[in-house]
Structure 1
Amino acid sequence: MQLTRFTDLGLRVLMYLTHRDRDALVTIAEIAEQFAVPHNHLIKVVNRLGKLGWVHTLRGRSGGLRLAVVPAELTIGRVLRELEGSTELIDCAEPPCALRADCRLKAALDQGLRAFYVAMDAFTLASVVDAPTGDTIITLHRQYLALHR
Structure 2
Amino acid sequence: MQLKKYTDYALRVLIFCAAKEENELSSIKEISQTFHISDHHLRKIVYELNKIELLETVRGRNGGIRLAKPANEINVGTVVRYMENDFALLECFDKGADHCVISPACKLKHTLHEAMRAFWEVLQQYTVQDLVVNDSELRKLMNI
TM-score normalised according to structure 2 size: 0.86
Checking the alignment, whether the CA contact within 8 Å between 1:74 and 1:124 is kept in structure 2 is yes
Residue 78 (structure 1) aligns with: 78
Comparing 79-88 and 10-19, the one that deviates more: 79-88
CA distance in 2: counterparts of 1:23 and 1:47, whole angstroms: 19
TM-score w.r.t. the length of structure 1 is: 0.83
**Hey, what's the Cα distance between the residues in 2 that align with 1:96 and 1:57?**
46
**Cα 1:62–1:104 shift into 2, 3 Å:** same
Q: Which residue of 2 aligns with 1:42?
A: 42
How many residues are matched? 140
Q: Partners in 1 of 2:8 and 2:19 — Cα distance?
A: 18
The Cα shift of 1:103 comes to: 2.0
Q: Which residue number in structure 2 is paired with residue 112 of structure 1?
A: 115
Give the CA deviation at 1:22: 6.3
CA distance in 1, matches of 2:72, 2:110: 32
Distance in 1 (alpha carbons) for counterparts of 2:143 and 2:23: 11
Decide whether the 8 Å contact of 1:21 with 1:138 is kept in 2: no
Alpha-carbon distance between aligned partners in 2 of 1:126 and 1:23, rounded to the nearest angstrom: 15
Letter in 2 for 1:120: L
Q: Percent identity?
A: 33
Structure 1 unaligned segments of length 5 or more: list them.
143-149
Contiguous gaps of at least 5 residues in structure 2: none
1:3: how far off?
Answer: 1.2
Give the stretch that moved more between structures: 75-84 or 8-17.
Answer: 75-84
Over the aligned positions, Cα root-mean-square deviation in angstroms equals 1.9
Change (3 A) 1:20 1:4: same
Residue pair 1:89, 1:113 contacting (<8 A) in 2 also: no
Cα distance in structure 2, aligned partners of 1:85 and 1:64: 28
> Which consecutive segments of 4 or more residues in structure 1 shift more than 6 A?
none
